[in-house]
């Protein structure tokens, strides 16, 4: 089973780029890496998903090295509204879904 490890918390300032890394040393061949954002009292919201190399969408980028044992979520120019908990999810269809413990990002003015 792929176990994920993330930093418990991170601080940043408005306008900065934030990079959150997730370690998943035992990732399986069929596993994808997905990141979610969660605000208090709400369900998580999908941010981005990738399998290898780099994926970019309108809100974030996801960097995955060739060995796929880690991944980095990059949030460009964060704002106060990006203060949330970010989860790394590793899993594949019909496989176990392993969520990391989440990284609490605090964006300061």
Partner 1 sequence: EAGVTQSPTHLIKTRGQQATLRCSPISGHTSVYWYQQALGLGLQFLLWYDEGEERNRGNFPPRFSGRQFPNYSSELNVNALELEDSALYLCASSFGGQVGEQYFGPGTRLTVT
Closest approach, Cβ 57 to partner 1, in A, equals: 11
Closest approach, Cβ 13 to partner 1, in A, equals: 26
For partner 1, the closer of residues 75 and 87 by Cβ is: 87
For partner 1, the closer of residues 60 and 100 by Cβ is: 100
For partner 1, the closer of residues 54 and 96 by Cβ is: 96
For residue 43 the two structure tokens come to 């369900």
Where on the chain is the footprint of partner 1 (CB under 8 A)? 32, 34, 41-46, 49, 87, 89, 91-102
Closest approach, Cβ 30 to partner 1, in A, equals: 9
């Amino acid at each position: 089973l792929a176990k994920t490890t993330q930093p418990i918390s991170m601080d940043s300032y408005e306008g900065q780029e934030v990079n959150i890394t997730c370690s998943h040393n035992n990732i399986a061949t069929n596993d994808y890496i997905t990141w979610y954002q969660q605000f208090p009292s709400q369900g998580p919201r999908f941010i981005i998903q990738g399998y290898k190399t780099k994926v970019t969408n309108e809100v974030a980028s996801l960097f995955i090295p060739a060995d796929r044992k880690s991944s980095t979520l990059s949030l460009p120019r964060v704002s106060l509204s990006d203060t949330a908990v970010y989860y790394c999810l590793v899993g594949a269809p019909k496989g176990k879904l392993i969520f990391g413990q989440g990284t609490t990002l605090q964006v300061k003015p």
